Structure 1
Amino acid sequence: MKNELVYQSTDYTCAPATMVNALRYLFDRDEIRPDVLWSVFRASLDMYGSDGSFGGDGTSPDAMLSLVSTFNMYGESGRFPIRARLLHGEDALAGESSESGKLGTPLRRAIASGLDGIDANQPTRAQRNGEAVHMVSPGAVGVARVWSNRMNGHYVLVTGFGALPDGAAAVRVFDPYKDSKVDGVQVQRIEREPAQANRLIAASLFDSGERVPYALVNDRYERRVIVIERRESA
Structure 2
Amino acid sequence: KAAALYLDGLFTADGIVPPSPRYLELIAERARAAGVVYVADEVQAGHGRTGQGLWSFGPSGVTPDLVTLGKPMGNGHPVAAVVARSEIVDHFGVDHEFFSTFGGNPVACAAALAVLDVIDSEGLLANAATVGNGLQSAIRGLAGTHPAIGDVRGRGLMVGVELVVDPATREPDEQLAAQVMNGMRERGVLISATGRERNVLKIRPPLVISADQAAIIVEAIDASLTAANA
| Superposed pair shares fold, TM > 0.5 | no
Q: Taking structure 1 as the reference length, what is the TM-score of the superposition?
A: 0.27
Identify, as 1 or 2, the structure richer in helix.
2
Q: Taking structure 2 as the reference length, what is the TM-score of the superposition?
A: 0.28
Q: Name which structure has the greater RCO, CA cutoff 8 Å, separation 6+.
A: 1
Of structures 1 and 2, the larger Rg is shown by 2
